[in-house]
């Protein structure tokens, strides 16, 4: 892995603008040059290089080119498991192509929510045959063909390969990889002549009856003619160097900023109409290029139906969190499943955005606070001050949770003045925001943001933080409910399946159970090993339809019935018939498959009965594997009078029987016979392993267990030679 520091630089500073001393010290910027060359070769519009963080499964953006980094703010740090093209490229070690707006919406909805514009994207891993160093993405305007050409594919792949080799050499030589500035072009600020080329051209523009502005890629005004200043109502001197929506109060609306973003990303002309108070409508038309935007401003006819609320004049400070980040966070939080998912997302996306350095998420149980998760504290023991605090106690965490009113402390002195007890538990931070997490009208927790330095919280910042608390609360409420159901499901599953397998003379046994990856992590698959009188044991494996609480409850009844019928001494065929009648008598509309066998290792025999269950595999001592296609009857629960014939099977010492449910071999697009053959080959190759290792090997290497759509149960039995 490559560990690099954050390559984020301010403004549009390019490599050429970096200080001379820095350039001399670090030499040529490796990442910037590689990215610029790659984009030039394939005529891409923008791009970025990500490097794997040292010691973390995280991709960090090192360099961005062609667009301001703010456009990609939600994805400056990307977990390798994230549903994002660059992460997928590294995981799968292949090029990921997204051909346009519809393709993006279908495959990566989180990105489409934040960037709902027509553009194409390619993401590639930066990796050698043995090591992944990071990833690169490049984008094209919406006019790019829906397919990537062979020439573009070859250029991108070759360029990423060359960069991976350079990174490999850099690490081998133990040379540090310094931060590099982003490559964002733009016109220098100055007069009209410098912007438009000649004095005469500037005079011509000044005489035009409509307004003209030139914006760089960051949206800053580098030129405005007199007509533009007159129409907008702001002098040219106050416009230059500012963003249009920041310097003109009535243009400070996310909808107008969105048009600027849409024009730059899609490279298509966009326009909008805005009301200049008290009643004059102006038309803005944006003409994009790879270096910025030209904006034509003119009077528009009255638009009666567009009755926008007029912003109040005042000091419009830069927004604490942009609309891009809010949309990205909202999309990400909808995918957070567990409480720890929520904590991780807040730590990765909100904490950096609001400028804080640490985070604690609190919940309540039995009238006391408890810590749900935390990040950023050098000494985790300091977080223990929150755990177990009574809600009735006068502490900011408890007060915020019980009252639903946020609390902001700009300094330690302010906190200690209101809560003197806090003096005894310093945490090393200097300012705090305590945000109530309210969902469905009730408090679900408290989010504590800590700042390393004293921090003022003006009214607009408090409003933003409180609103963000609402987003977090909704995700946390869902996650708490999921975690509670998850714990119930696991407890029920553990109660219904054997805690351990009994030790038997002449038989070694091992079992595995894996819940489906969809649903409640609980299902109807079961197994059991029952000691019996006269012979070594009876073994059973089965599968009730579904993976939910109903299936699990029915599974528990069937397993108990099989144990009872075995204990009273019924023969294998009778056990199956009795269990079948019981299932029908219960009136359930679900069916079950089952495989039951009576083991007699002293005689080297096993007697088996089957009810619609996948056939077991037998590995002989010589390593050959045979599929035991046993005679059998229908699924349990269909026909109360169905017979269940039995089959005798030789079980020589050293033989291994593999009993399994269909979740081990069934996967979309996989032929069952091929999957069964693959399982037999695995059993043949690894059959000499200790049984627990063999069970792990079979489960780990089965294609069906990678994306489990069904539960998996596996029971392995090895006949031991006589001592």
On whether the CB atoms of residues 259 and 295 are closer than 8 A, the answer is no
CA atoms of 710 and 704, how far apart (whole Å): 9
Residue 11 pLDDT exceeds 60: no
Q: What is the reported pLDDT for 645?
A: 93
Task: Average the pLDDT over 145-166 and give the result.
Answer: 94
Dump pLDDT digits (tens) for 212-234.
988 888 888 988 888 888 898 99
Q: How far is the C-alpha of 69 from the C-alpha of 64, rounded, in Å?
A: 6
612/702 same-domain check: yes
pLDDT tens for residues 37-59?
999 999 998 999 999 988 788 89
Residues 25, 86: Cα–Cα separation, whole Å: 31
Q: The pTM is what?
A: 0.47
Residues 83 and 150 reside in one and the same domain: yes
What's the length of the chain? 723
**Residue 90 lies inside a defined structural domain of this protein:** yes
Residue pair 351/374 in contact by the 8 Å Cβ criterion: no
CB 386 within 8 A of CB 397: yes
Question: 595 and 571 share a domain?
Answer: yes
pLDDT value at position 540?
93
**Predicted local distance difference test score (pLDDT) of residue 328:** 63
Task: Note the pLDDT of residue 617.
Answer: 94
pLDDT bin (cut points 50, 70, 90) of residue 667 is: confident
Same domain, 41 and 166: yes
Last residue of a domain, one of 460, 487, 514: 487
Domain boundary among 423, 456, 487: 487
Highest mean pLDDT among 121-135, 232-246, 508-522, 583-597: 121-135
- The answer to the question of residue 661 being in a domain is yes
Within 8 A by CB and 6+ apart from 666, the residues are 672, 675, 704, 709, 710
Q: Please give, one letter per residue, the 3-state secondary structure of 337-358.
A: CCHHHHHHHHHHHHHHHHCCCE
Considering the domain architecture, whether residues 231 and 166 belong to the same structural domain is answered as: no
Residue 24 has pLDDT above 70, yes or no: no
Q: Rounded to the nearest 5°, which phi and psi values hold at 292?
A: 160, -155
Residues 474 and 577 in one domain: no
Share of the chain above pLDDT 70, in %: 81
Query: In 3D, which of 448, 437, 440 has the Cα closest to residue 473?
Result: 437
In the block, tokens 């990040």 appear at 375
Min mean pLDDT across 6-15, 391-400, 427-436 is at 6-15
323 in a domain, yes or no? no
Whose CA is closest to 636, among 558, 567, 696? 558
Res 491: pLDDT: 62
Question: Which DSSP category does 72 fall into?
Answer: G
Angle 254-266/323-334 helices, nearest 10 degrees? 80
Our measurement of the distance from residue 219's CA atom to the centroid of its chain's CA atoms, rounded to an integer in Å, reads 31
Chain Cα centroid distance, residue 629: 43
Hunting for tokens 């830069």 — which residue is that?
318
Q: Is the pLDDT of residue 518 over 60?
A: no
Is 122's pLDDT higher than 70? yes
Least confident of 160-164, 167-171, 346-350, 454-458: 346-350
Q: Contacts by 664-667 with C-beta closer than 8 Å and gap 24+?
A: 664/698, 664/699, 664/702, 664/704, 664/705, 664/712, 664/713, 664/714, 665/614, 665/702, 665/704, 666/704, 666/709, 666/710, 667/703, 667/704, 667/706, 667/707, 667/709
Evaluate if residue 548 carries a pLDDT over 70. no
- pLDDT tens string 527-540: 899 888 766 789 99
Pairing of β 592-600 and β 625-627: unpaired
Same domain, 579 and 706: yes
- Give the dihedral sign, CA 289/291/295/296: negative
pLDDT band for 192, please (50, 70, 90 cuts): very low
Q: Which of 183-197, 456-470, 638-652, 683-697 has the lowest mean pLDDT?
A: 183-197
From residue 6, how far is each of 48, 62, 273, 544, 656 by CA, in Å?
13, 6, 39, 52, 55
**Whole-angstrom Cα distance, residue 458 to residue 462?**
6
Residue-level pLDDT at 199: 58
Residue 339: exposure state from Cβ atoms within 10 A (0-12, 13-18, ≥19): buried
Residue 108 has pLDDT above 70, yes or no: yes
Q: Give the pair of three-digit tokens for residue 185.
A: 């072009």
Whether 283 and 415 map to the same domain: the answer is no
Residue 76 has pLDDT above 50, yes or no: yes
Return the SS3 of 689: coil
Any bridge partners for residue 295, and if so which? 213, 286
Measured distance CA(369)–CA(444) in Å, rounded? 11
Rg (CA), the chain: 33
Please name which of 460, 534, 522, 458 lies closest in space to residue 487, comparing C-alpha atoms: 522
The confidence band for 255, taking pLDDT boundaries of 50, 70 and 90, is: confident
Q: Number of folded domains in the chain?
A: 4
Is 405 in contact with 436 (CB distance < 8 Å)? yes
Query: Same domain for 369 and 476?
Result: yes
pLDDT confidence of residue 393: 85
pLDDT tens for 305-332 read 444 444 444 444 445 555 556 656 666 6
Q: What is the per-residue pLDDT across 261-292, written as a single tens digit (0 to 9) for each? A: 888 888 888 888 888 888 888 989 999 888 88
Asked if 482 contacts 337 with a C-beta cutoff of 8 angstroms, the reply is yes
Claim to verify: residue 117 and residue 249 sit in the same structural domain: no
Q: Please provide the DSSP assignment of 207-234 as one string.
A: H-SSEEEEEETTSBEEEE-HHHHHHHTS
pLDDT of residue 422 exceeding 80, the answer is no
Residue 697 predicted with pLDDT over 80 = yes
Peptide bond preceding 278 in cis form (omega within 30 of 0): yes
Q: What is the CATH number of the domain that holds 55?
A: 3.30.450.40
Q: What mean pLDDT comes out for the span 80-90?
A: 91
Do 168 and 273 fall into the same domain?
no
β-strand partners of 443: 438
What pLDDT is attached to residue 495?
Answer: 63
Same domain (yes/no): 396, 420: yes
Report whether pLDDT(656) > 90.
yes
For residues 139-155, average pLDDT: 92
Does the residue 77 lie in any domain? Answer: yes
Q: Give the whole-angstrom CA distance, residue 398 versus residue 362.
A: 9
Average pLDDT of the chain is 81
* Angle, CA of 209, 276 and 461, to the nearest 5°: 130
Between 197 and 137, the more confident residue is 137
Q: Which domain holds residue 385?
A: 328-487
Which of 127-136, 649-658, 661-670 shows the lowest per-residue confidence on average (mean pLDDT)? Answer: 661-670
Cα–Cα distance for residue pair 68/216, rounded to 1 Å: 10
The DSSP symbol for 607 reads E
Residue 547 lies in a domain: yes
Which CATH number do you get for residue 649?
Answer: 3.60.40.10
Residue 199 class from Cβ within 10 Å (0-12 exposed, 13-18 middle, 19+ buried)? exposed
Residue corresponding to tokens 């590689």: 34
Copy the structure tokens of residue 268: 């298509």
Query: How does pLDDT run across 194-217, given as a tens digit for each residue?
Result: 444 455 566 666 667 788 988 888
Please indicate, yes or no, if residue 4 is contained in any of the structural domains.
no
Decide if pLDDT at 3 tops 50: no
Band of pLDDT at residue 523, cut at 50, 70 and 90: low
Residue 667 lies in a domain: yes
What is the SS3 assignment for 371-405?
A: EEEEECCCCHHHHHHCCCCECCCCCHHHHHHHHCC
Where is mean pLDDT largest: 10-14, 86-90, 303-307, 673-677? 86-90
What is residue 185's predicted lDDT score, i.e. its pLDDT? 58
Q: Is the pLDDT of residue 137 over 90?
A: yes
In a domain, 308, yes or no: no
Compute CA distances 275 → 253, 283, 390, 456, 525, whole Å.
11, 9, 54, 34, 65
State the distance between the two ends of the chain, measured CA to CA, in whole angstroms.
Answer: 52
Residue 105 has pLDDT above 90, yes or no: no
Q: Where are the beta strands (DSSP E) in 366-500?
A: 368-375, 407-409, 431-439, 442-451
- Final residue in a domain of this structure, among 487, 512, 527: 487
């Amino acid at each position: 892995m490559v560990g690099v520091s954050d390559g984020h630089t301010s403004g549009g500073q390019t490599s050429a603008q970096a200080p001379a001393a820095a350039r001399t010290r670090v030499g040529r910027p490796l990442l910037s040059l590689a990215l610029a060359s790659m984009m030039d070769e394939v005529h891409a519009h923008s791009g970025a290089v990500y490097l794997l963080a040292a010691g973390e499964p995280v991709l960090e953006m090192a360099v961005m080119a062609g667009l301001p980094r703010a456009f990609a703010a939600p994805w400056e740090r990307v977990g390798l498991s994230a549903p994002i093209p660059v992460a997928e490229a590294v995981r799968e070690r292949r090029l990921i192509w997204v051909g346009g707006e519809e393709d993006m919406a279908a495959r990566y909805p989180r990105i489409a929510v934040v960037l709902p514009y027509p553009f194409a994207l390619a993401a590639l891993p930066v990796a050698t045959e043995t090591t992944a160093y990071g990833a690169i993405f490049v984008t094209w305007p919406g006019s790019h063909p829906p397919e990537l050409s062979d020439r573009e594919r070859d250029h991108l792949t070759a360029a990423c390969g060359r960069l991976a080799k350079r990174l490999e050499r850099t690490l081998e030589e133990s040379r540090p990889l310094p931060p590099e500035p982003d490559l964002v072009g733009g016109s220098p600020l100055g007069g009209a002549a410098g912007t438009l080329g000649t004095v005469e051209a500037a005079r011509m523009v000044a005489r035009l009856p409509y307004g003209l502005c030139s914006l760089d890629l960051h949206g800053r005004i580098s030129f405005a003619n007199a007509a533009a200043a007159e129409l907008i109502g702001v002098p040219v001197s106050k416009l230059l160097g500012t963003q249009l929506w920041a310097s003109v109060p009535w243009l400070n609306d996310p909808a107008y900023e969105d048009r600027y973003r849409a024009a730059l990303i899609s490279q298509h002309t966009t326009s909008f109409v805005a009301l200049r108070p008290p009643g004059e409508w102006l038309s803005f038309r944006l003409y994009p290029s790879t270096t910025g935007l030209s904006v034509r401003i003119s009077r528009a006819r009255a638009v009666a139906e567009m009755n926008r609320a007029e912003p109040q004049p005042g000091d419009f400070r830069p927004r604490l969190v942009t609309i891009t980040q809010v949309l990205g966070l909202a999309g990400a939080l909808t995918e957070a499943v567990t409480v720890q998912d929520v904590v991780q997302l807040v730590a990765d996306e909100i904490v950096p955005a609001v400028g804080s350095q640490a985070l604690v998420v609190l919940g309540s149980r039995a009238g006391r606070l408890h810590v749900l998760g935390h990040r950023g504290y050098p000494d985790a023991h300091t977080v223990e001050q929150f755990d177990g605090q009574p809600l009735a106690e006068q502490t900011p965490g408890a007060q915020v949770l019980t009252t639903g009113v946020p609390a902001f402390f700009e300094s330690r002195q302010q906190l200690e003045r209101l809560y003197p007890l806090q003096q005894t538990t310093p945490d090393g931070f200097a300012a705090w925001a305590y945000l109530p997490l309210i969902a469905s009208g009730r408090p679900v927790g408290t989010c504590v943001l800590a700042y390393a330095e004293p921090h003022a919280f003006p009214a607009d910042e408090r409003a933003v933080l409180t609103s963000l608390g609402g987003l977090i609360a909704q995700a946390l409420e869902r996650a708490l409910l999921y975690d509670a159901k998850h714990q119930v499901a696991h407890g029920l599953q553990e109660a219904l399946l054997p805690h351990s397998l009994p030790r038997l003379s002449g038989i070694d046994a091992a079992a595995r159970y894996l819940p489906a990856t969809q649903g409640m992590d609980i299902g109807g698959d079961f197994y059991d090993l029952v000691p019996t009188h006269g012979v070594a044991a009876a073994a059973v494996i089965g599968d009730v339809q579904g993976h939910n609480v109903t299936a699990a409850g029915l599974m528990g009844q069937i397993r108990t019935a099989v144990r009872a019928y075995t204990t009273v001494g019924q023969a294998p065929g009778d056990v199956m018939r009795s269990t079948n009648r019981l299932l029908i008598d219960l009136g359930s509309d679900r069916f079950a498959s089952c495989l039951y066998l009576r083991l007699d290792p002293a005689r080297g025999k096993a007697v088996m009965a089957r009810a619609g269950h996948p056939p077991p595999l037998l590995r002989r001592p010589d390593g050959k594997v045979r599929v035991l296609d046993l005679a059998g009857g229908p699924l349990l629960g269909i026909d109360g009078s169905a017979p269940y014939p039995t089959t005798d099977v030789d079980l020589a010492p050293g033989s291994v029987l593999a009993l399994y449910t269909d979740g081990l071999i069934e996967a979309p697009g996989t032929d069952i016979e091929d999957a069964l053959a693959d399982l037999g080959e695995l059993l043949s190759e690894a059959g000499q392993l200790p049984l627990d290792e063999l069970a792990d090997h079979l489960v780990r290497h089965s294609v069906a267990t990678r994306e489990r759509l069904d539960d998996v149960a596996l029971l392995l039995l090895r006949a031991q030679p006589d001592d």
